[in-house]
Amino acid sequence: MTPLRKSVVEIFMSEIESRDFIRQIIHDDLASGKHQQVVTRFPPEPNGYLHIGHVMAICLNFGVTAETGGRTYLRFDDTNPGKEKVEYVDAIERDVRWLGFDWQDRLTHASDYFGQLHKAAVRLIEIDKAYVDSLSAEDTRTYRGTLTEAGKNSPYRDRSVAENLELFERMRNGEFADGEMMLRAKIDMASPNMNLRDPALYRIRHLSHQHTGDSWCIYPLYDFAHTMSDAFEGVTHSLCTLEFEDHRPLYNWFLEQLKPEHLPRQIEFSRLNLAYAITSKRKLNALVEEGIVDGWDDPRMPTISGMRRRGYPAAALLDFVRRAGVTKKNKLIEMGAFENCLRENLGEESPRRMAVLRPLKVVLSNYPDDKVEMMEAMNHPGRPEMGTRSLPFSRELWIEQDDFMEEAPRKFFRLKPDGEVRLRFGYIIRCDEVIKNDAGDVVELRCSYDPDTRSGTGRSERKVKGTIHWVSSAHCIDAEVNLYDRLFTEVNPNKAEDFRAVLNATSLETVSAKLEPSLSELSSGEVVQFERLGYFCPDSETDSANKRIFNRVVTLRDSWAKLEKQAMQQQG
């Protein structure tokens, strides 16, 4: 296969001339001398697989440091042992590497800092900025108030520093049950920002942790662990999506109280939302757990692993997020825009091959039974450097059912009774007889070929308007081909009361196809264009030459374009 033409750094260096607002901030910070080097982090929680929205965050965090000579940490936000798995950790590392990014020796975990986080929590207690609360979960919710009504102080808020230190140590030692105690910051229960109403810092969870084992039975909450981990790692620019904008005052409060050596700055950007897709991990997990899809790497899933299995090139994903841009405005991007990035990348890079998805037998009555010719076929019409291949041609062939019509309209230029068509790289043939089964279905065409019309010989001046593809019946390989479509019928399934109600019942169709023999050599992840049909690649679960499985990556044309445009307009 032809290698990708742009490296990760090359793709993102193209951003510099038209800086987004984050890159402008970073440029100004470096120019002013505020920072000598940019430090960022990509901090996924290992509670599921990464999806298309994460690609934006990965590209931004690793991209800005690639452009400026900085460094990026891959840090696992592993503070919730009830939902995290080593499987997810491994998948995240694999996905980031596949996209082309390298964290080098900067692989960290929030759990690496559990000792430092514990000390920071103790310090907050010592300066009377944190307390151990004994309210039940229900009472905690009641005391918190609402968006329009202030909360009220817990009756345990005024415990002494000494009592809080003692209780927190007993929490650490495992003396209390889950939910019996929690450590909370002491800020302002009347704050209009709900995140500042004495947020939880530590909760008790008697669970084994996928990274630290049974060393801890208390675990820090995200806001606290994330802020302080940024500070511990010397992060200069903590880049996160817009839903964390209301969390920034809390982020800054921790830094103001604890005064770490490094003071990171949180900056928010809009997340990448793709039409006809969901990116909620909770909903994606439901799709997996309920058996609606075949795992996190199902090719219909918007996960990076699903897209890789389907055959999406990493370069196309990078190009897509570059075009989407980094903004402050939430946006829903058309699926058609994403698929066009795929087509542009694959159209240039993918060799052409011939495959018949819905086979109809053609017998050339005047072609010798034992004769086999090798037809020279171009691997790519626009790139002669990709060379040619030989296709076996014989008396019995397969063509697409759609390439024959018994009662054809005047402008149907494919095969019809008494009509002629050219077989690509082969001969002109005429349909002489139509064979049907007892049900009246067409099962075979008896045709004749013109031996003077072989492609490339120049022996015949005869022209016909239609050209169709084919494979030799005696030499083709059998394969199952998965024809994937959009998983949802609604442009924004997140707005549905139940996303299951807008699932696309025809998101997967599997057909028994006939492929040219060279496709038996194709490896998983290699993409080819099935001429006239779309882009396809072998599925990673293909296990033998006798059972080939191919996935459709994307069609040649966007059949949803008009429908999607109308739906997007209705969404505003």
Catalytic residues: 45, 271, 281
- Helix, coil or strand: residue 272: strand
Rounded Cα–Cα distance for residues 299 and 487 (Å): 10
Rounded Cα–Cα distance for residues 321 and 342 (Å): 12
User: What letters, b where the CB count within 10 A reaches 16 and e where it falls short, cover 425-460?
Assistant: bbbbbbbeeeeeeeeeeeeebebbbbeebbbeeeee
- Helix, coil or strand: residue 490: coil
Rounded Cα–Cα distance for residues 375 and 454 (Å): 9
CA 188 → CA 118, 180, 197, distances in Å?
A: 22, 23, 5
DSSP structural state of residue 178: T
Rounded Cα–Cα distance for residues 414 and 396 (Å): 18
Give the count of beta carbons closer than 10 Å to the beta carbon of residue 522.
20
132 within 8 A of 168, measured Cβ to Cβ: yes
Which amino acid is present at 477? I
Rounded Cα–Cα distance for residues 499 and 496 (Å): 5
Q: Which two tokens stand for residue 488?
A: 């949802």
Helices within 329-430 (DSSP H only): 335-349
Q: Which two tokens stand for residue 497?
A: 């009361």
DSSP structural state of residue 246: G
Residue 410 CB partners (closer than 8 Å, separation 6+): none
Which amino acid is present at 337? A
Rounded Cα–Cα distance for residues 185 and 220 (Å): 12
Q: Which two tokens stand for residue 48?
A: 């599921």
Rounded Cα–Cα distance for residues 500 and 496 (Å): 9
Task: Give me the helix-helix angle, 21-32 and 52-68, nearest 10°.
Answer: 30
Residue 248 CB partners (closer than 8 Å, separation 6+): 266, 268
Among 186, 162, 181, CA closest to 171: 181
Rounded Cα–Cα distance for residues 119 and 126 (Å): 10
30 within 8 A of 38, measured Cβ to Cβ: yes
Q: Which two tokens stand for residue 187?
A: 């800020």
